Amino acid sequence: MYIRVRFPSINLLKNKQTMYAQKTIGRRAFLKNSILGSSLLVTTNIPLHAINLEKDDDLLKGVCDIHLHATPDSRERSVNEYKFMQDAIRAGYRAVMFKSNDFSCHDRAYLIRQALPDAECFGSFCMNRVHGDKVNVYAAQKAIETSGGLCRCIWMPTLDAAYQYQRENRKEQGIPVLDNNGQVLPEVIKVMEICAETDIIFATGHASPEESIILARKAHEIGVKRFVVTHANSSIWTMTDSQIKECIDNGAYIEYCYLPCLWGEGTKMPQYQRQSIEEFLSFVRIDPERSFISTDLGQAVMPHPIQGMRDCIIKLQTAGMPQKEIDLLVRHNPAWLIKVN
Ligand SMILES: [Zn+2]
């Protein structure tokens, strides 16, 4: 099925006003707002933007979310990176890796750490058009060399990926990862080599499932230790079980995002199809040893990423997933990937 991939631009202003309003409300109004927020999310019951952290809530202790979006960014986001880290520390998170589609965030992570010494925050770098019309080896290299060594992942093109443009029926060419014969492009191989040498994550970005398999094989050959297939349960990047297994056989870790369980009809991202918890579980159960969960939240119209992560863990526990597997998915594996172990 063809699913249109375009983030909504309407209602953002309206939503911003809601955000500011929520900042200044008391507990009673907060509860009321939470109920209002949950009506936007028919099956999730998560309030929009508000975070409600109970004092001895161990649910989030040690959690690592290594894919979420915050301001400053070229799109509207629900929270800024600094504020998010303050909340994440309070919630007991172990580490966070931000993702900015266009600009850098590893350098901001360095500054956030000066102000918040307990903040285990990292950045990542996407090979999108602001860095040129091809995957830019030089930009990737410099991101990794930046003070603090906090860039822990190079993503292949995301919003400017050739596959994404093609699915959006855009006239222009997006940034390719393969040549016309289906071979991995030299500049992509070079970035793989840099990721292997510096031992950071090489992520598939918005490559197609088929492209991701070819990338996985090549990365395996080159010796990339931390190769990640991203969004394997999301929208146009959804993989079949056998595609997932093939990537794992080539040494990949598979990322499953919780965002698809929150968008859909009745929410402010109605153009996407909601993923049921059962479907989500059918992905995360494939191989918890070689997978992890991230929220991919931060969109201005979606719940706060901490609320999203909390909701996800509760849903996994309620479904009877063993705690050991949950720990692999939201604690151990993402921590290992960004090297905080
Ligand atoms: Zn994302």
pLDDT tens track for 107-155: 999 999 999 999 999 999 999 999 999 999 999 999 999 999 999 999 9
Taking alpha carbons only, the member of 310, 308, 303, 300 closest to residue 80 is 300
Q: How many CB atoms lie within 10 A of CB 83?
A: 11
**Does 157 sit behind a cis peptide bond, omega within 30 degrees of 0 on the bond before it?**
no
pLDDT tens string 55-69: 557 899 999 999 999
Tell me if 19 sits within 8 A of 76, measured CB to CB: no
Distance 58 CA to ligand 1 centre (A): 26
* Phi/psi at 72 (5° precision): -70, 140
- 57-61, 236-240, 247-251, 289-293, range with the lowest pLDDT: 57-61
Mean pLDDT of 233-262: 98
Question: DSSP class of residue 77?
Answer: B
pLDDT tens string 138-150: 999 999 999 999 9
Distance 94 CA to ligand 1 centre (A): 20
Task: Return the pLDDT at 47.
Answer: 59
Distance 158 CA to ligand 1 centre (A): 8
Tell me, what amino acid is at 191? V
Task: Return the pLDDT at 43.
Answer: 45
CATH 3.20.20.140 matches 54-337: yes
Reduce the DSSP state of residue 196 to 3 states and report it. Answer: helix
Q: Residue 305, Cα to own-chain centre: how many angstroms?
A: 10
Task: Return the pLDDT at 57.
Answer: 72
Distance 308 CA to ligand 1 centre (A): 14
Give 222: exposed, middle or buried? Use CB within 10 Å, 0-12, 13-18, 19+. Answer: middle
Distance 112 CA to ligand 1 centre (A): 21
* Phi/psi at 229 (5° precision): -90, 120
Give 234: exposed, middle or buried? Use CB within 10 Å, 0-12, 13-18, 19+. Answer: buried
Distance 164 CA to ligand 1 centre (A): 13
Distance 27 CA to ligand 1 centre (A): 31
Distance 67 CA to ligand 1 centre (A): 6
| Cα–Cα distance for residue pair 36/31, rounded to 1 Å | 9
- Over 60: is that where the pLDDT of 189 sits? yes
| Cα–Cα distance for residue pair 315/320, rounded to 1 Å | 9
Distance 238 CA to ligand 1 centre (A): 14
Distance 68 CA to ligand 1 centre (A): 6
Q: What is the pTM of this model?
A: 0.86
| Cα–Cα distance for residue pair 126/104, rounded to 1 Å | 8
Distance 185 CA to ligand 1 centre (A): 24
Distance 177 CA to ligand 1 centre (A): 19
Higher pLDDT, 36 or 211: 211
Mean pLDDT of 317-334: 98
Distance 263 CA to ligand 1 centre (A): 13
Q: What percent of the chain has pLDDT over 90?
A: 83
Task: Return the pLDDT at 41.
Answer: 43
Higher pLDDT, 196 or 23: 196
Distance 295 CA to ligand 1 centre (A): 8
Q: What's the mean pLDDT when you consider all of the chain? A: 88
In the chain, where the domains are located? 54-337
Distance 66 CA to ligand 1 centre (A): 10
Distance 171 CA to ligand 1 centre (A): 24
pLDDT tens string 8-62: 333 333 333 333 333 333 333 333 333 333 333 444 556 566 666 655 578 999 9
Mean pLDDT of 175-199: 98
Distance 28 CA to ligand 1 centre (A): 33
